[in-house]
Structure 1
Amino acid sequence: MPRTILRQCIHCRQQLPRESMLCLTSNRDHHFSINGNPPLQGRSSYVCRNKACLTEALRAKKFQRTLKRAIPDAILEALNDQLKGISSL
């Protein structure tokens, strides 16, 4: 039986299966990936697919803090686009 991999939301600290969360990954060359597209190895930050969690994580700059680097505006815009596609919970 396969093991379920859990990750913690950077805002609410709730642990959920990795597949049910949004993931922002950054490698040492400062390339970024949202939900593993394209797949990268490096630091990752996970947030619930919840409008409140993603909004607050963006507002409080929690992605920048957990990834320990500045995030380009294009990536932040892509995360905002993800926010528009999430139904509020």
Structure 2
Amino acid sequence: MPRKVPQRMCVACRTMKAKRELIRVVLGQDGTVTMDATGKKPGRGAYVCRSRTCIAQAVRAHRLDKGLKTAVGADVIDQLIEEMEALPEHEPTDTDHK
């Protein structure tokens, strides 16, 4: 019997994808919002696609606010995009955003 692949939804575009295809954004215990490449950092998390568009949309439309249950400022967009670009590449899929 094949193993079930964990699925998560992007808070911005509302697309269901395999957990490994998305990036977890986590609200740390100290109140900072960062990317979680391992998916194991403690704190409340929300998932976004590996695209600038989804990150920007998640912050601007206050979807990260709802997912993390805290106010996330627009200044976080650049920080998250910078962190995303520093992450190792993944295998692209046909559902990735451009």
Question: How many residue pairs end up in the alignment?
Answer: 89
- Alpha-carbon deviation of 1:21? 0.8
Amino-acid identity (%): 21
Q: Which runs of 5+ in 2 are unaligned?
A: 90-95
Alpha-carbon distance between aligned partners in 2 of 1:81 and 1:53, rounded to the nearest angstrom: 14
Alpha-carbon distance between aligned partners in 2 of 1:76 and 1:30, rounded to the nearest angstrom: 16
- What is the match of residue 78 of structure 1? 79
- Alpha-carbon deviation of 1:6? 0.6
Cα pair 1:25 1:36 within 8 Å, conserved: no
Cα pair 2:23 2:47 within 8 Å, conserved: yes
What secondary structure does 2:20 align onto? Answer: helix
CA RMSD of aligned residues (A): 3.3
My pick for the range that moved more, 48-57 or 10-19, is 48-57
My pick for the range that moved more, 23-32 or 40-49, is 23-32
Cα pair 2:52 2:81 within 8 Å, conserved: no
TM-score by length of 2: 0.64
Kindly provide the amino acid, as one letter, of the partner of residue 17 in structure 1: A
- What is the match of residue 24 of structure 2? 23
- Between structures 1 and 2, the one with greater helix share: 1
- What is the match of residue 10 of structure 1? 11
- What is the match of residue 50 of structure 1? 51
Q: Which runs of 5+ in 1 are unaligned?
A: none
